[in-house]
Amino acid sequence: MTDRTTAGFGIDDITVGPFAHGFGTTDDGRLFAFRTRRATLTLQIYRPDLGEAVPGADDVVATAQAPVTDIDLGDERSVTAFVRDLIHDAIPVPRAAPRDTTTVRSILGRISAVIDGM
């Protein structure tokens, strides 16, 4: 676990090695998680109003990926610095288009009317 900097960045849990992973908080207080798979570190930053809930795929607001071939995955400081630098390269995730629920609701309403009429 790393100490928080004055700006707020910190890693709450980190596991080093070839499958390095962990989670923490960005400078602006958002939660993030990272994992290494096939020599690529993937970082996911979550929405700020997450609270205590376990984040899901819908909660991701930005992602970043980078190869880890040039860093020492066995050194906690190297992984921490790499993650901290990667946060600034994160690309916002486009929001999914809202679904057209009016059609679905109207079909369900008709089915409900049929069931009630039985």
Other CB atoms closer than 10 Å to residue 38's CB: what's the count?
A: 8
Q: For the chain, percent helix, then strand, then coil, each to nearest 5? A: 25, 30, 45
What integer pLDDT is reported at residue 109 of this predicted model?
76
Distances from the Cα of 66 to the Cα of 7, 83, 84, angstroms: 24, 10, 12
Tell me what pLDDT residue 62 has: 95
Q: Could you tell me the pTM of the whole model?
A: 0.73
Q: 97 falls in which pLDDT band (50, 70, 90)?
A: low
